[in-house]
Amino acid sequence: MSLALSQSASRYGVLLVNLGTPDAPTSKAVRVYLREFLSDTRVVEIPPAVWFFILNGIILPIRSPKVAKAYASIWQEQGSPLRAITEQQSIALRQHLEQGTGEAIHVDYAMTYGNPSIASRIKDMQARGIDKIAVLPLYPQYSATTTAAVFDKLMAHLKTVRNLPEIRFLKHYYEKPSYINALAQSIADYRAQHGEADKLIFSFHGIPKRCVKKGDPYFEHCQATAQNTAAKLGLSDEQWMMTFQSRFGAEEWLKPYTDETLEALPEQGVKTVQVVCPAFAADCLETLEEISVENAEVFKEAGGESLDYIPALNDSEAHITLLSELAQQQLQNW
C-alpha cells in the first residue's frame, strides 16, 4: 500500500496503546497502578466522592498484595509481559512499515495507566518534530471502558498543549478480515501442534452488563469476533462457545462467566478445553495467570482433564502485518 505522504516521513508517528501494568510486582507498585486504573470513571462509574473511600479504604489495601503476588508469578526478566510484548510489537511494526513503505515512520507504545504514559510519548514525538500522529488502541472490540479511556487520556494531555499535533484515532478493528484471519490461523496452528480439545472457548474480558444496556457495543463486537473466527475455522456450534472473564465487584457482568462455565463443563462430558482470549492483543495477567493458572485449576477441580491456553497474537508475523495494515490505513493520504 502506498501511503502517498505529502511531507517528510519523519513528521509522522504511530502510537500503540495498551491498558497498562505496574512498574514492579510489589504491593506498593501495584497499589499505585490500581489507584490510577480504578479511579478512572470510564472503568468505575460509582460517584467519585463515594468510590474514593471504598477504593482507598477497602479495595487497595486488600487487593494490592493479592494482585502483586499474581504479577510476581508471571514477571519476566524484561519486566511485565504486557509491557515487554507491547514494546516488541512497536519495534516489529516500525520495521514492517519501513520495509513495506520505504518510509522511516516513527512507532512507539504507551499505556493508558502506568508507564510509559500517553502524555510522555506524545511529548517525545512532538520533541522529535512529529506533528501527525496515528493512535492505535490495541483493543479489537470497542468499549467505553477501554478504547474511550485511551481517548480521554490523550485529550487530557492535548488540553495542555499549545501547538497541537494532528491526530487520527482507531476506534476498533474486530471486523477487519486480517484480524479474523490472524486469530483463526493462530488457533489452527496451535491445534495442529497440540491436537483438538472437546471445546474451544472464546473468553473475552467482561464489562458490567449495565454498560451494554447504556449503549456500549462491546458485546456485539465480541460476538461477531467469535462467530466469524469459528466460521473461518469451519467449527460447528457445538464445538465452540463464548464466555466473559475478569469480573470485579458484586454487580452483574456479561455472561456466561468463564470460571462458572469451566466449573460446569465436566459434568456435561467436556473433559478437555482450549481457551483463546481475542480481546487481548498481548499476553498479560488476565491470560497468563487468570486463565492459564486460576481457571485451569477450576476446570480440573470440577473433573476436567486439561485446559490449554492458546497464546495471544503478541508479536506474531500475522499480528504485525495486521497492525501495519491498520497503521497505513490511518496514515493514508495524510
319: annotated binding-site residue?
Answer: no
Encode pLDDT of 249-300 as tens digits: 889 999 999 999 999 999 999 999 999 999 999 999 999 999 999 999 999 9
Dihedral sign, Cα of residue 5, residue 9, residue 11, residue 15: positive
Reported pTM: 0.95
Per the structure, the count of domains in the chain is 2
Is there a domain that residue 152 lies in? no
Is there a domain that residue 165 lies in? no
Is there a domain that residue 47 lies in? yes
286: annotated binding-site residue?
Answer: yes
List, in sequence order, every beta strand (DSSP E) within 187-315.
199-205, 240-245, 272-276, 306-310
Residues 6+ apart with CB under 8 A from 46: 54
To which residue does cell 488502541 refer?
A: 137
Is there a domain that residue 63 lies in? yes
Rounded CA-CA distance 166/334 in Å is: 10
Tell me what pLDDT residue 153 has. 98
Both 65 and 183 in a single domain?
no
Rounded CA-CA distance 206/201 in Å is: 14
Tell me what pLDDT residue 3 has. 56
Per-residue pLDDT of the chain (334 residues; tens, 9 = 90+): 445 554 545 699 999 999 999 999 999 999 999 999 999 999 999 999 999 999 999 999 999 999 999 999 999 999 999 999 999 999 999 999 999 888 889 999 999 999 999 999 999 999 999 999 999 999 999 999 999 999 999 999 999 999 999 999 999 999 999 999 999 999 999 999 999 999 999 999 999 999 999 999 999 999 999 999 999 999 999 999 999 999 988 899 999 999 999 999 999 999 999 999 999 999 999 999 999 999 999 999 999 999 999 999 999 999 999 999 999 999 998 8
Rounded CA-CA distance 11/131 in Å is: 6
What three-state secondary structure class fits 15?
Answer: strand
Tell me what pLDDT residue 1 has. 45
To which residue does cell 460446569 refer?
A: 264
Residues 6+ apart with CB under 8 A from 250: none
Is there a domain that residue 46 lies in? yes
Is there a domain that residue 130 lies in? no
Tell me what pLDDT residue 250 has. 87
| Contact between residue 146 and residue 178 where contact means Cβ atoms under 8 Å apart | no
Tell me what pLDDT residue 125 has. 97
Tell me what pLDDT residue 6 has. 46
The domain that contains 286 carries what CATH number?
3.40.50.1400
Is there a domain that residue 278 lies in? yes
Q: What DSSP state is assigned to residue 189?
A: H
| Contact between residue 182 and residue 256 where contact means Cβ atoms under 8 Å apart | no
Burial class from Cβ neighbours inside 10 Å (0-12, 13-18, 19+) for residue 191 reads middle
Is there a domain that residue 131 lies in? no
Both 298 and 181 in a single domain?
yes
| Contact between residue 219 and residue 254 where contact means Cβ atoms under 8 Å apart | yes
What's the domain range around 65? 27-74
Both 306 and 181 in a single domain?
yes
